[in-house]
Copies of this chain bind each other. A is one copy, B any other.
């Protein structure tokens, strides 16, 4: 067998099926909250000590309160230009890391739609998350976003 271990095991893990749906649903809700401007509710999908890191930013944003503040500022700037952003997060690869923690590597397609159009692709990124379950709900403990148009990343 030359197939990678994680692929070979994917049908043997009884946890994966339930987990996969929970993660997909979590991301759908999370992105809708952000895109609909419900920034406080979106920030609450991070843990209190959650970290949001992006290779396009000078340094990681640490803590839910700081994440909320940064997202609100980004939102206000878009609103001032009458531009909507839509985040599609997909191609979700879930890697269980204990009963209440998973690592999830996914793609994010970010679209921008100015009032009057047209809709365009803004950027494409990867999203590398550590999710933890707290009180029955998944939250982001650590997020690393990498833009595909920047020079870094494992593949370059």
Contact = CB atoms under 8 A, between A and B. Distances in A.
Nearest to A22: B11
Interface of A: 1-4, 6-12, 16-18, 20-22, 24-29, 31-33, 35-37, 40-41, 44-45, 82, 84, 86-94, 105-107, 109, 111, 113-124, 133, 135-139, 148-151, 154-156
A40 B107 contact: no
Given A4-B41, A28-B106, A114-B149, 4 more contacts: A11-B137, A20-B25, A32-B91, A90-B90
A120 B117 contact: no
A86 to B, nearest CB: 6
A108 to B, nearest CB: 10
A4 B34 CA distance: 13
B91 A107 contact: no
Nearest to A45: B7
B8 A135 contact: yes
A31 B120 CA distance: 21
A22 B155 CA distance: 26
Nearest to A3: B44
B86 A88 contact: no
A112 B25 CA distance: 27
Nearest to A40: B2
A137 B10 contact: yes
A3 B109 contact: no
